[in-house]
């Protein structure tokens, strides 16, 4: 598991192995737009202010993955213990 922090509120949530970042956000009343939920469409793209994502999408280009400043919360996860999201 890893933690996500909402930059605007400072709220921190745990993302367990069996849930996506998107699911955890929704369960906590934070709505983001999703469509494919498979890392294909890019609808859910969210900026990252801190931490290293574990990219699992097919949407971003390789150099965009390498920049580590955005990710797809419908399917991507974290390599670092904490991701701070620009939400
Ligand atoms: Fe399509 Fe996340 S909803 S990439």
Is the CB of residue 14 less than 8 Å from the CB of residue 83?
no
Write the ipTM: 0.99
Q: How far is ligand 1, taken at its centre, from the CA of residue 61, in Å? A: 14
Does pTM top 0.80 for this prediction? yes
Percentage of the chain with pLDDT > 70?
A: 100
Q: How far is CA 13 from CA 19, 35, 51, 58, 77, in A?
A: 12, 23, 14, 26, 13
Q: What is the pLDDT of residue 65?
A: 98
How does 23-40 read in b/e, with b if 16+ C-beta sit within 10 Å?
ebbeeeebebebebbebe
Q: What is the pLDDT of residue 66?
A: 98
Q: What is the pLDDT of residue 30?
A: 97
Q: How far is ligand 1, taken at its centre, from the CA of residue 80, in Å? A: 21
Indicate which atom in ligand 1 lies nearest the CA of residue 34.
3
């Amino acid at each position: 598991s890893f933690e996500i922090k909402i930059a605007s509120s400072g709220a921190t949530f745990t993302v367990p192995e069996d849930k996506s970042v998107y699911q955890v956000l929704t369960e906590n009343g934070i709505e983001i737009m999703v469509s494919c939920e498979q890392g294909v469409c890019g609808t859910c793209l969210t900026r990252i202010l801190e931490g290293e994502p574990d990219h699992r999408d097919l949407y971003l280009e390789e150099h965009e993955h390498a920049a580590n400043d955005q990710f797809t919360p419908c399917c991507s996860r974290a390599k670092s213990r904490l991701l701070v999201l620009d939400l």
